[in-house]
Amino acid sequence: MAAWVLTSLAAAVSLGGAPMQSEGASSGRELPESAANLDFIVFNRTGRTITAVAITPRGEGAPWSGDILAPRDLPDGERGAASYTRDIELCHWAIRATFGDGRTRDFPAVDLCDTIRVELR
């Protein structure tokens, strides 16, 4: 099955404020019209309530998606679902969390091929 299928529920990614490693832009290939969603679970460990989550392909210069978080508000210590319909096959994504006060924080290096559990710290 294609590499973009997310298979591991047990793996966890812990993301701090570490700067993005400098690597070349990751290229992707177009997926068929019937491509599945990119689904993952967001664990909020930021100490603040997250009100929105957006993603963009890492290093692609593409615009951020709209809000993909369910439920609308994700308090610290809670988890929520994120789902995004995409048209390219990529593993590395950047995630942007928007907080209740309107501030944002970017998590620039998330490999969504290796995990569907994303812990934002």
Give the domains, in start order, of the chain with CATH numbers. 33-120 (2.60.40)
Q: Residue 24 has what pLDDT? A: 40
Are the C-beta atoms of 120 and 93 separated by less than 8 Å?
no
Q: Residue 98 has what pLDDT? A: 98
Q: What is the mean pLDDT of each run of 10 residues along the chain (121 residues)?
A: 29 38 42 63 98 91 93 95 82 94 95 90 95
Q: Residue 16 is encoded by which pair of tokens?
A: 């701090």
CA gyration radius, the chain: 14
State how far the Cα of 18 lies from the Cα of 37, in Å rounded to an integer: 28
Q: What is the DSSP letter of 24?
A: P
114 CB-side CA count, 13 A? 10
Q: What is the DSSP letter of 18?
A: P
Residues paired with residue 38 on neighbouring β-strands, in sequence order: 84
Q: What is the DSSP letter of 20?
A: P
Q: Residue 20 has what pLDDT? A: 34
| Entry pTM | 0.70
pLDDT in tens, 51-86: 999 999 988 788 999 999 998 899 999 999 999 887
Q: What is the DSSP letter of 102?
A: S
Are the C-beta atoms of 104 and 97 separated by less than 8 Å?
yes
Share of the chain above pLDDT 70, in %: 69
